Amino acid sequence: MKQGKQVLEKRDTLPRYFLRDYELWPEEVEMREKEKGIWWEYTWRDGYEKAKHFSLGMVTLGLEPGGKVGLLGDNEPEMYWSMFGNWCARGVNIGFWTDSVPSELKYIIDHSGLKFMVVRDQEQVDKMLKLKEEVSKVKKVIWWEPKGMAGYDDPWLIGFEDVVELGREYEKEHPTAFNENIDSVNPEDVAYIFYTSGTTGLPKGVVHSHSSVIQTAEAIREVYPATAEDNAAPYFSVASIFEVIFGSASHLINGIKFNFPESPDTLMPDLREISPTVMFWVPRGWENIASEIQVKVNDASALKRVTFNSFLPVGYKISALQNQGKKPNLFWRALRLAAWWTAFRPVLDKVGLLKTRWAMTGGYMLGSHSFEFFQAIGLDLRQAYGSTEVPFISTHMPGTIRPDSIGTLQPEVDYKVTDDGELFLRAPYMLKEYYNNPEATSKAVDGEGWFHTGDAGYVDEDRNVFFIDRVSELKELRGGKKFSPQYIEAQIRFGAYMQDCMAVGDVTKDFVSAVINIDFESVGKWAERNHIPYTTRVDLSQKDEVGKLVLRDIRRVNSTLPEHARIRRYAVFHKEFDPDESELTRSKKLRRGFMEEKYADLIAGIYEGRESVPVEAVVKYRDGRTGVVSANIKLRSVEE
């Protein structure tokens, strides 16, 4: 029987699913990884052997039931073998963002009390060694990428393969231990702790059980069908629940195959070779693909460019009709067919999305421009909405997509809207608690089991959920009118030359303004094409021509906004917003309060009507050194 057609038996814990998969498909491909320019395959047997011995090796090293293990590194087979192995040893996984600095690691290590860290490479090992004195409770740091590790002889460190070897020895004496460990895992045992990235305050550890992860993944499968025939490229960090419920859990429960690019730099070309059939990415990933398509179209020959651009409106028209549940007439269908074969199909093929059955975006809001763009070129892209606490809340359903909503509320989820406009939710899959933080737990989940989302939103009679913004992040202008900075920022980011944006405005201000972070790479190319000389990025960002380029995008966004929420003045920022300087969180969300304080002079200048403001920014390098970037930032007005 073909893999995809099998009716799969249910299990109640993730390790039991892992065991089931190995028994079902020992010789089928579990993962593929590109190395030395070639795709290498691992079967479920390969993965089972690795994870089993790693699991037993961890037991040998002293991992106890309920013991916590940190995962830090890019997504590669070893990352998942470790994750599965830990579960099989009754352990709890905690994912970290790969680019975390030592102080961020230390906070989570201390707070969770974890005893083991599994890290990818020398870079991460160095971070851990820097912390060694301060995190004395960590027993071992396990690394899996040997490059550069030749000179390290600290007994605190151990290689992944050495742990596997320990496990192999252990198995000789305890041949039944692995299965016994799996048997003793309970569905209500903690499987994962997700640390929220903390746009406000310190990170909180959101605790999920095996049962909650499994139930979430099963609910997802109802809407986003997945089988062992499917290929995925799990690209998002295992620090996020988004990856675990769509990726790891679906891999174990549905058997979707994992494919790993050769390096982060080769992601886009490798994606084409993977041709994933299911795609779960965060908005920034989709925005990158959208910009990449636009750049490619702009670089293509005149004929191709004209073809694509003249057929694009056809795509928009058809997808709008389909979303309203209407059927396009013969004329539009014929045009659509021509558009598909001459313009959209080749473009989807170029970026590796041609075989994609469904594509979803989640994590935070994707700008409706990007969203409609993908639908127009024929990709079944849907938005799903969840939080770390209630991982799967709503999603777009085929045929009834309202691009302005975040989809239809899941049947499992109850809701209620408070007088303040805050959405309360209750679902069978929810956080168990905030780790070691009963106060936050009782604040977020009340006695009746309602989870307070902190999001302003409403639900209509068709159970479509409308999301406005975080209650705490809606901003009020002088005079009481409200606007959503996040919405404006997402819309700006869609522009081919835009990287990021911070929309500014509050009760002391009469209008909205924006600090814009251009995409230095594509703007640099644009300047080259248009013969605009520049020296540095700072210089480029302050060119009048670049100001005009940005203005085009602002006008585009303004046309979708109500009068009071339009951007009136703007500045082009002289560098990228940077997580190393705490300007963004590790998941690349803007840290608004911090930014407004750090660049208070700039913002004041905008509202005082000044023409330029000198800005000095201290730049922090990852090794702790600092430098100063100074620039004279021009402040410009948007004339209607």
Partner 1 sequence: MVSEAKAKLKVEDVELRFGGVTALDDVSVDVKEGEILAIIGPNGAGKTCIINSITGYYRPQRGKIYYDGRQLIGQSTHKIIKLGISRTYQNIELFTGLTALENLMASRHPFFKSSVVSGAIYFGRAHREEIENRHIVEDIIDFLEIEAWRKKVVGALPYGLRKRVELGRALALEPNLLLLDEPMAGMNLEEKEDMARFILDVFEGQARKYPDTPILRDGVKTIMLIEHDMGVVMDIADRIMVLDFGHKIAEGTPKEIKANPEVVRAYLGEEA
| Contact status: 184 vs partner 1 (CB under 8 A) | no
Between CA 230 and CA 227 the distance in angstroms is 6
CB within 8 A of 557, min separation 6: which ones? 488, 491, 492, 567
Instruction: Give least dist CB 148 to partner 1, A.
Output: 5
| Contact status: 510 vs partner 1 (CB under 8 A) | no
Look-up: residue for tokens 């994912």? Answer: 95
Interface of this chain with partner 1, residues 34 to 53, rule: CB under 8 A: 35-37
Instruction: Give least dist CB 117 to partner 1, A.
Output: 20
Look-up: residue for tokens 């820097």? Answer: 130
At what angle are helices 283-299 and 302-323 packed, to 10 degrees? 140
| Contact status: 578 vs partner 1 (CB under 8 A) | no
Toward partner 1, which CB reaches closer, 66 or 148?
Answer: 148
Instruction: Give least dist CB 623 to partner 1, A.
Output: 7
Toward partner 1, which CB reaches closer, 37 or 562?
Answer: 37
Toward partner 1, which CB reaches closer, 463 or 537?
Answer: 537
Question: Which range binds partner 1 by CB under 8 A, 10-18, 147-155, 305-313, 593-601?
Answer: 147-155
Strand pairing class (116-119; 92-95)? unpaired
| Contact status: 26 vs partner 1 (CB under 8 A) | no
Toward partner 1, which CB reaches closer, 147 or 327?
Answer: 147
| Contact status: 521 vs partner 1 (CB under 8 A) | no
Toward partner 1, which CB reaches closer, 179 or 536?
Answer: 536
- Look up residue 220 and give its amino acid: I
Instruction: Give least dist CB 163 to partner 1, A.
Output: 14
CB distance 72 to 112 below 8 Å: no
- Is the CA virtual torsion 536, 537, 543, 546 positive or negative? positive
| Contact status: 616 vs partner 1 (CB under 8 A) | no
Question: Which range binds partner 1 by CB under 8 A, 44-52, 139-147, 191-199, 339-347?
Answer: 139-147
Instruction: Give least dist CB 302 to partner 1, A.
Output: 22
| Contact status: 156 vs partner 1 (CB under 8 A) | no
| Contact status: 153 vs partner 1 (CB under 8 A) | no
| Contact status: 180 vs partner 1 (CB under 8 A) | no
Interface of this chain with partner 1, residues 256 to 315, rule: CB under 8 A: 262-263, 265-266, 269
DSSP string for 207-255 = EEEHHHHHHHHHHHHHHS---TT-EE---S-TTSHHHIIIIIHHHHHT-
Toward partner 1, which CB reaches closer, 166 or 427?
Answer: 166
Toward partner 1, which CB reaches closer, 267 or 474?
Answer: 267
Question: Which range binds partner 1 by CB under 8 A, 141-149, 373-381, 382-390, 547-555?
Answer: 141-149
Instruction: Give least dist CB 74 to partner 1, A.
Output: 12
- Look up residue 415 and give its amino acid: Y
| Contact status: 524 vs partner 1 (CB under 8 A) | no
How do the residues of the chain divide into helix, strand and coil, expressed in percent and rounded to 5? Answer: 40, 20, 35
Between CA 542 and CA 531 the distance in angstroms is 16
| Contact status: 146 vs partner 1 (CB under 8 A) | yes
The runs of H, that is alpha helices, within 254-344 are: 267-274, 283-299, 302-323, 330-339
- Look up residue 117 and give its amino acid: M
Toward partner 1, which CB reaches closer, 151 or 479?
Answer: 151
CB distance 573 to 516 below 8 Å: yes
| Contact status: 159 vs partner 1 (CB under 8 A) | yes
CB distance 44 to 25 below 8 Å: yes
Toward partner 1, which CB reaches closer, 180 or 623?
Answer: 623
Question: Exposed (0-12), middle (13-18) or buried (19+): which is 405, by Cβ within 10 Å?
Answer: buried
| Contact status: 149 vs partner 1 (CB under 8 A) | yes
| Contact status: 623 vs partner 1 (CB under 8 A) | yes
Between CA 520 and CA 543 the distance in angstroms is 13
Toward partner 1, which CB reaches closer, 36 or 327?
Answer: 36
| Contact status: 327 vs partner 1 (CB under 8 A) | no
Question: Exposed (0-12), middle (13-18) or buried (19+): which is 35, by Cβ within 10 Å?
Answer: exposed
| Total of chain residues touching partner 1, rule CB under 8 A | 19
Question: Which range binds partner 1 by CB under 8 A, 3-11, 142-150, 247-255, 477-485?
Answer: 142-150
Question: CA 637 from chain center: how many Å?
Answer: 34
Tokens for 311?
Answer: 């057929």
Toward partner 1, which CB reaches closer, 266 or 309?
Answer: 266
Look-up: residue for tokens 């550890």? Answer: 205
- Look up residue 569 and give its amino acid: R
DSSP-derived letter for residue 590 is B
Toward partner 1, which CB reaches closer, 317 or 537?
Answer: 537
CB distance 165 to 141 below 8 Å: no
Identified binder of partner 1 from the candidate list 147, 172, 327, 531, rule CB under 8 A: 147
Residues that bind partner 1 (CB under 8 A): 35-37, 145-151, 159, 262-263, 265-266, 269, 621, 623, 625
